[in-house]
Amino acid sequence: MSTESPLTAGPAVLRRLGVNIDHVATIRQARRERYPDPVAAAIQAEQAGADQITCHLRVDRRHIQDHDLPRLRAAVQTLLNVEMAPTDEMVAIAHRELARRPGDPRRHRVTLVAERAEEITTEGGLDVVTHGALVREVSAGMAAAGIAVSLFIDPDTAQVEAAQALADVGVDMIELNTAAYAEAHGDHAAQGRELVRLATASRVAVQGGLELAAGHGLTHHNLPRMVAEVPEVVEYNIGHSIISRAVFVGLDTAVRDLITIIRHPG
């Protein structure tokens, strides 16, 4: 399984799939049971070929819980990518659970995201332009602890450039928010416009030395066009559609099908 990649995508690049296991925890929390266990889902996703396990520890703890993080870190054999808001509470948890440890060569990752209590799911990217000073402080602390840092942002050139300005404090990656592209399902022209935004932001990011991920609302239906038209993306983080489809075809098949799409487009 690949844990490294060049900064630009092309025929030789092995694109990575990060499987988000949040919604396994969502089902568990609906009944406050011990099952289904998101850690078990992470293990199965890796066995199916996932290159990374992603989860989102939200302030409201609606799915992933604090006790899941040490269990995930112990079980995950690839890399762990934890999405979280840049709050004091979350920063402390990240330092406790994800800091680099002697004997473990891996650098686990934090992806900083915007978060609002009333939202059903993440509604937009982190506003790095407005909150640059806060993001700089948090990112510097993460990097000092041996934690890789990514920012989940909207495909806006100003946001990309603001992220690039944080390279000196450890920000080496951004994840572009693909929600608008996904929500244009069925409208080919609208999807095309969103792909232009994504492609433009992607080129700016790669030219500025950032590694590029994408995610939010991607499915096995809309992913092929995204992969074909925005080749700069080297990592996709996908969760809800994988877990939903797994109900019908199994987690192994749901993961393997997306790996095929991202690594063998066309």
Q: DSSP letter string over 6-25?
A: -SS-STT---EEEEE-HHHH
Residue 189 lies inside a defined structural domain of this protein? yes
- Give me the pLDDT at residue 181, please: 97
- Give me the pLDDT at residue 122, please: 66
Residue 7 lies inside a defined structural domain of this protein? no
Q: What is the CA radius of gyration of the chain?
A: 17
Residue 90 lies inside a defined structural domain of this protein? yes
Taken in order 235, 241, 244, 245, the sign of the CA dihedral is negative
Sort 117 into a burial class: Cβ within 10 Å, 0-12 / 13-18 / 19+.
exposed
Q: Which two tokens stand for residue 258?
A: 């997306």
Positions marked active-site: 56, 83, 216
Residue 67 is part of a domain; what is its CATH number?
3.20.20.70
Residue 228 lies inside a defined structural domain of this protein? yes
The number of domains in the chain is 1
- Give me the pLDDT at residue 256, please: 97
Residue 4 lies inside a defined structural domain of this protein? no
Q: Phi, psi (5° rounding) for residue 236?
A: -120, 130
- Give me the pLDDT at residue 36, please: 97
- Residue 54's nearest CA partner among 109, 114, 116, 7 is 109
User: In which domain, by residue range, is 249 found?
Assistant: 16-263
**Rounded Cα gap, residues 154 and 142, in angstroms:** 22
Residue 10 lies inside a defined structural domain of this protein? no
Contacts of residue 67, Cβ cutoff 8 Å, sequence gap at least 6:
none
**Rounded Cα gap, residues 121 and 10, in angstroms:** 32
- Give me the pLDDT at residue 9, please: 39
Residue 2 lies inside a defined structural domain of this protein? no
Residue 8 lies inside a defined structural domain of this protein? no
- pLDDT tens track of the chain, all 266 residues? 444 433 333 444 689 999 999 999 999 999 999 999 999 999 999 999 999 999 999 999 999 999 999 999 999 999 999 999 999 999 999 999 999 999 988 999 999 999 876 666 666 899 999 999 999 999 999 999 999 999 999 999 999 999 999 999 999 999 999 999 999 988 899 999 999 999 999 999 999 999 999 999 999 999 999 999 999 999 999 999 999 999 999 999 999 999 999 998 76
